Structure 1
């Protein structure tokens, strides 16, 4: 019995025998440009690929300027990340596109070279972790909505615990061998 190909399989760039559609190729190129922008900022590139009404659903623990829409918010996220990390790089492991949504499975890597600061909803500093000098590499999934050839919305799933463990942000603990009789 022959099996029909999955119609959604053609939307996975680089993972199928069927060549990706032109729309998927354009989405792949746009995401590649977006991740390169987060590695090395360029104002002209930001204007070309980020919509004025762009929103980042992941900005709540970031500094208040990162919570604003558009290029200014993305630049504030860039500045926040680059204050804490050197050599930031995203390797794009897989990209899947369907409709106006594109998902990138990535590996983010870098070195923790400055304080990592998180913020509360009211914009106050919630925590600050001093630089460890350690390197990390963690998996992330980034969801982008694209309209009119620009990025307009971002959501993500990240391995923050794995990153924190690689950077030594948690003290190692061992389970107790037993409890004393009481």
Structure 2
């Protein structure tokens, strides 16, 4: 396992996941490479797509706004040189609209808050460069999360709330 300044690539990857729940901007500056790319950012708000610490921090704020008590439990970490895979469970409670975007940056869908909790498995993949996260990919159980939060299958009343939430999100964008 490669190390930089005594910190292993696996430790950098794990810390970069954990700060998504409660890290400060300075934590992102410390752990995320200035040219880092989040390969999962295509459906995130435009401010999350800039890469580097600013983009990763914007992603954290986007997630924290929608999901109160956001937390990650780390189950397994495997590192091979500068590549790291982390198996985890993400959990939280849906308390604010969760808005996803088109690749062009327009509002695609808005999920109004349900107040429900969720816990879903995720696998995160990282490339570490100079002791910092340079690239991130993820495989998430989005369907499981949608089912736990009541997004799928949607009730007619929830579809109406989604349409209203999307309209509001478009106006706010």
TM-score (norm 2): 0.83
Partner of 1:66: 48
Partner of 2:148: 166
What is the rounded CA distance, in whole Å, between the counterparts of 1:55 and 1:22 in structure 2? 20
Provide the aligned length of Structure 1 versus Structure 2: 153
Flag the structure with more relative contact order, 1 or 2, with Cα contacts below 8 A and sequence separation at least 6: 2
What corresponds to 1:98 in structure 2? 80
1:31 and 2:13 aligned: yes
RMSD: 1.8
Superposed CA offset, 1:60-87 (max 9, x none): 1100111112011111101111121010
**Of 72, 77, 92, the match for 2:59:** 77
2:160 counterpart residue number: none
**Stretches of structure 1 lacking an aligned partner (at least 5 in a row):** 1-20, 174-182
Q: For structure 2, which runs of at least 5 residues remain unmatched after alignment? A: 156-173
Q: 3-state DSSP class of the match of 1:117?
A: strand
C-alpha separation in 1, matches of 2:114 and 2:67: 10
Q: CA offsets per residue over residues 99-149 of structure 1, 9 Å max, x none?
A: 211000000001011101000112110000100000000000000000111
| CA–CA separation in structure 1 for the residues paired with 2:32 and 2:53 | 6
The alignment partner of 2:23 has SS state of coil
Distance 1:54 1:131, change over 3 A: same
State the structure with more CA Rg. 1
Identify the structure with the greater helix proportion. Answer: 2
Match of 1:6 in 2: none
Question: Normalising by the residue count of structure 1, what TM-score does the alignment of the two structures yield?
Answer: 0.79
